Amino acid sequence: MAADNDTTAGEGDSAEEKADVKAEDKAEDKAAPKAKNDDDGDGDADDADDVKAKPAAPAAKPKPAGEPNAKAKDDDEGDDDADDADDVKAKSTAPAVTPKASGEPKAKAAGAKAAAAKAIVDPRAKWILFLIVAVASLVADQATKIWAKHALETRRNPSQDLEYTKELEKRIDPNTPPEQRRAALEKVPCDIPEDVIVRSVPNLPAGQPKRYWAPCSGVPSPVITNYWDWELSMNPGSAFGLFSGQGFARVFLSIVGLAAVGGMLWMLKKSRADQKILHWALAFVAGGAVGNLIDRIVDGVVTDFILWHYHDKRWPVFNVADIVLVVGVGLMFIDIQKEGKREKEKKKRRAARAKAAGLVKKLSDD
């Protein structure tokens, strides 16, 4: 019995102790909050159960290439040491990246375009063009002159040279009656080009001014009435009848023609490949000069056959060579104007570049 009482008393004491412990735990819970990570209520936030119960942290996203890590930029081995030998070696072998200027792509594109344009232009092209245009002008001139000599009509002029008249009478029938002799002389065919060449009248009385006369002259053939005729004429002078009365004209103008052709070739050699207008001009001038030069060498005179006039007011007779000469000279003036503008723009660009580089100061800065 005594033993049972002791046992009962021990159990009562134990129950009281448990009640006291629970009361103390409740008091501590009220005084201090539980740990945030204490999931099982044991007050220990770092035990294995709580760590296991934590949600898994999301995996870090891979960073794009070239983006710097939180570690040192030059740390390739992950040892937080950016200055070790391996990292320095890798840095020295990496290719250097040069920053591009804002206008560099445009400048490269313009340079490539200019280079392509230069590659397309054949340096022989200007010579080919010159040869084609000059030969075409020459052929057109000589062909029309041959046509004019054979197709256009001529007539006899009243003779002003007794010696010439005597030579002419030998070409008619000696049995011609005197009253028909003049008409017979007028029907004698003209020798081309000799009889159409204007010459001075010989054996004039002393004190009389010098006169000029041609045994034959061309008969006008209207193309546009009162404005344009075909009329054969032999010109011992230059274009449009200039220097026609000068005895030295043949030799002097032949030398001038040769010099002109040589000058055209020299200018063509010095010209740029993009000066198309000048190339055409030089070819026209050379073709016209050679056309008239051939006439002077072969006949001693230049064959003209185009007559522009307004009723009785006549422009000097000319030919195809004179036309291409005038066109060529006109194109030269156009090229001169164009080159003048080009030089002005070039100077402006140079001044702008010098100003941008600080080589030229503004007047306001002085």
User: Residue type for 280, please?
Assistant: W
Residues 45, 35 contacting (CB under 8 angstroms): yes
- Label the pairing between strands 199-200 and 212-213: antiparallel
Please list, in sequence order, all residues whose beta carbon lies within 8 angstroms of the beta carbon of residue 186, skipping any fewer than 6 positions away: 155, 156
Please list, in sequence order, all residues whose beta carbon lies within 8 angstroms of the beta carbon of residue 277, skipping any fewer than 6 positions away: 331, 334, 335, 338
Nearest to 256, CA basis, from 239, 273, 268, 241: 239
Residues 291, 284 contacting (CB under 8 angstroms): no
Determine the Cα angle at 241 with ends 236 and 243, to 5°: 65
Residue 304 is encoded by which pair of tokens?
Answer: 């003209």
Out of 6, 304, 335, 365, the active site residue is 304
Residue 291 is encoded by which pair of tokens?
Answer: 């056309």
Out of 87, 141, 295, 322, the active site residue is 322
Nearest to 233, CA basis, from 198, 190, 185, 186: 198
322 labelled catalytic: yes
Angle between helices 125-151 and 320-356 (to 10 degrees): 160
- Distance between CA 276 and CA 331 in Å, rounded? 10
If you search the block for the tokens 């539980």, which residue do you land on?
Answer: 34
DSSP string for residues in 307-335: EEEETTEEPPPB-HHHHHHHHHHHHHHHH
Per-residue burial over 282-299, b if 16 or more Cβ lie within 10 Å, else e, is bbbbbbbbbbbbbbbeeb
Residues 274, 260 contacting (CB under 8 angstroms): no
Residue 289: φ, ψ to 5°: -65, -40
Known catalytic residues are: 304, 322
